[in-house]
Chain A
Amino acid sequence: MPRQLARDDQGNLIIDKRGPRFGAAVTTVVLAVALILQGQVGAVLVVWQWIAFTISTFFGLAWSPYGNLFRFVKRRFDLGAPSQTEPEGPPRFAQFCGFAVLTVAVILFAITGVDAVGAWVAVGIVLALSTLLAATGLCVGCELYLWGHRLRSRTAQ
């Protein structure tokens, strides 16, 4: 775990921009293997991924399992300093989105067992989004921000 966390002028946590992309790539592999295997092993992989999302969402990206794996890879292969950093907020929100959808899958596993079709649909959705994130570095919060606020202002009226 990092002893010193990088912060910007306002004291917000900042992270290496490559980190979330790396994490999304790992997520993509984990969920793709889970979706192919399914059954007990697949469900265990999904639950593991859900735990990873939970940790990053509620404890911060500094504690993210894949973030720490990236830190290790960075040191081991001497990838050098980040070319760009970014605030922790947006990628952390993306982790929350993954957490929210996979929570549905985990609940369905618990209720109807590892063959729950709905659970695997949820896994497929997160797989698609993590592929997108790994390929583009998409900012999920940026895409949803106005939808959320329009919805809120309409319900307030």
Chain B
Amino acid sequence: MISRLVITLVIVGAATLFALWWQRRDGRVRTDEAGRFTADQLQAVGLVDGSAEALAVLLGSPTCAPCLTVKQILGELADERTDFHWSYADAADHLDIADAHHVMRVPTLFVLDRGGRILARTSGVPAKVELRRVLDRDGTLESV
């Protein structure tokens, strides 16, 4: 009985610790990613308009609740600024892109400059303020 109690507590405890770690990681905006989307990749997800200063590609799946939240955030950001275009793509239809950028889960979001260079990457639901910070830095400061 005691040993079963210990086993059960260890399972629940380990899962809780993992959950806390996972939650801290989820949605974190990473800006240390080197790499770029090729012109072909941008075209494949429907980002061909050259007028935007910043782009975003969201890889998702049809039955993914967090993807809807990220879509909503991107929609709101796009309403705020005219120089930002984003596109949603089903990850399963673009496995080549998912493989090229080592995407393991949905939703994964890439924020790019106009040339396709990756400025930031997130998986899970990012905070809107953090994305705004990434876009502000790009749109006004760096892309000269």
Contact = CB atoms under 8 A, between A and B. Distances in A.
B8 A142 contact: no
A91 B19 CA distance: 17
Contacts of B11: 35, 124, 127-128, 131
B69 to A, nearest CB: 8
Nearest to B19: A135
B12 interface: yes
Contacts of A28: 12
Interface size of A as a range: 20 to 34
B105 interface: yes
A145 interface: yes
B22 A136 contact: yes
Contact of A146 (B14, B19, B106): B106
Contacts of A141: 61, 63-64
Interface of B is mostly: helix
Given A32-B8, A36-B5, A136-B22, A128 B67 contact: no
Interface of A is mostly: helix
A143 interface: yes
B143 interface: no
Nearest to B107: A142
Contacts of A32: 8, 12
Interface of B: 1, 4-5, 7-8, 11-12, 14-16, 18-20, 22-23, 26, 61, 63-68, 91-92, 95, 98-99, 103-107
